Chains A and B, each alone.
Chain A
Amino acid sequence: AQSVSQHNHHVILSEAASLELGCNYSYGGTVNLFWYVQYPGQHLQLLLKYFSGDPLVKGIKGFEAEFIKSKFSFNLRKPSVQWSDTAEYFCAVKDTDKLIFGTGTRLQVFP
Chain B
Amino acid sequence: DTAVSQTPKYLVTQMGNDKSIKCEQNLGHDTMYWYKQDSKKFLKIMFSYNNKELIINETVPNRFSPKSPDKAHLNLHINSLELGDSAVYFCASSQVGDFYGYTFGSGTRLTVV
Contacts and interface: CB of A to CB of B under 8 A. Distances in A.
Interface of B: 31, 33, 40-43, 45, 48, 50, 55-56, 90, 96, 99-107
Nearest to B4: A43
A2 to B, nearest CB: 12
Nearest to A104: B41
Contact of A44 (B55, B90, B96): B90
Given A43-B90, A49-B100, A101 B105 contact: no
Interface of A, helix, strand, loop or mixed by DSSP: strand
Interface residues of A, number: 22
A32 B99 contact: yes
Contacts of A44: 43, 90, 102, 104
Interface in A36-79: 36, 38, 42-46, 49
B35 to A, nearest CB: 8
Contacts of A94: 99
A43 B100 contact: no
Contact of A101 (B43, B96, B107): B43
B99 A90 contact: no
Given A32-B99, A44-B102, 11 more contacts: A34-B101, A43-B90, A43-B105, A43-B107, A45-B104, A94-B99, A97-B31, A97-B50, A98-B56, A103-B40, A103-B41
Given A43-B106, A103-B40, A97 B90 contact: no
14 contacts: A32-B99, A36-B104, A43-B105, A43-B107, A44-B102, A46-B103, A88-B41, A90-B43, A97-B96, A98-B56, A103-B40, A103-B41, A103-B42, A104-B43
A42 B45 CA distance: 18
Contacts of A32: 99
Contact of B101 (A97, A99, A100, A103): A99
Contacts of B31: 97
A49 B41 contact: no
A6 B55 CA distance: 28
A16 B94 CA distance: 35
